Amino acid sequence: MRAPPYGPGDVIDRLSVLTLKIYHKGERYEREFAVLTRNAKGIVEGPDRLDALALAAINGELWGHEDQIRRFREQLKTEDRMDPDPRDVARIAIEIQELNDRRQELVTRLNGDRS
């Protein structure tokens, strides 16, 4: 089976997620990061650099929002009522959807026309 042809946006997205995992969870992701980094030299140039930075920023925001949702979930397991208000949970969930939409737009743009 052949590996799927990943585009620059896919690689940049994965690198930014791996960076967050290494920062928050430790070294177990460093090998994959090193392999991708070695194979991705020069993958982003010129104006695409801003899109790559925006993609990394979005992934950071998503990480923070998902941490908030995890905390809410833990509260539900240990407490009778939810604090903060369920509307806050819904707001964060909607923001996660919107961020994922923006993330996909950036990945697609960085991949360019791959047809």
CB 8 within 8 Å of CB 106? no
- For residue 96, tell me if it sits in a domain: yes
**pTM over the 0.85 mark:** no
Total domain count for the chain?
1
**Residue 50 located in a structural domain:** yes
77: in domain: yes
Structural domain range at position 84: 8-110
Phi, psi of 79 (to 5 degrees): -125, 155
Q: Which residues of the chain have pLDDT under 70?
A: 1-5, 80-83, 113-115
Examine residue 36 and state whether it is found in any structural domain, yes or no: yes
1 domain residue, yes or no: no
Of the candidates 41, 31, 50, the residue with the CA atom closest to the CA atom of residue 8: 41
Is 2 a member of any domain? Answer: no
Tens digits of per-residue pLDDT, 33-65?
A: 998 888 777 777 777 889 999 999 999 999 999
